[in-house]
Amino acid sequence: MNQKYFDYLREEAPEAAAILQSKSFRSLLHYPRHIYTNTYDHSVRVAICMAWLAKRGGTDPASAVKVGLLHDLCFVDYTSKNDHPGLYCFYHPEEAADNANREFGLSRREEKAIRAHMFPLSVHLPSSKLAFHLLLADKAVAVYELTLGVRFLRTRLSRLASKRILRKI
């Protein structure tokens, strides 16, 4: 991942530095996400998208980056058998919100946004702009990551994302 992305996150949300350096967040490097990536990279991409949306949508960039980084703070490898009953998509927002709140502290609005980020699969409705932005950013990044396996699309999308996002930095 490009160092400019990390610098951008630290600029938008000073608290991002502590999250990015924490042992628990760094452990997300070992949990797969969307076939071709890991949860750490996925969360960083969502946070970048959240910062971009926050500037254009009138939400607090620091809060947006924080929920973007922490929305999947769930330490379960969903690709292998685990102790959790049910499907990962249904229980991970709850577990991520609990983990994030315990380790980093969340406002009520941030916690609700994380719990609702899997709507309509979760029972929580997005109830704020922050929650709606997280829902959109997570889905957009997931589609981007799923296309990473197709070489042609990976090259085109990476160039486009770099031009659009890094140009603003």
pLDDT digits (tens, 9 = 90+) for 63-101: 999 999 999 888 666 566 767 666 555 567 888 899 999
Return d(Cα 13, Cα 44) in angstroms, integer: 13
pLDDT tens per residue across span 89-136 = 556 788 889 999 999 999 999 999 999 987 776 777 788 999 999 999
Return d(Cα 108, Cα 117) in angstroms, integer: 14
Q: What are phi and psi of 32, to 5 degrees?
A: -70, 155
Q: Is the pLDDT of residue 148 over 60?
A: yes
Closest C-alpha among 30, 64, 61 to residue 137 = 64
- Find the radius of gyration of the CA atoms of the chain: 15
Return d(Cα 150, Cα 32) in angstroms, integer: 18
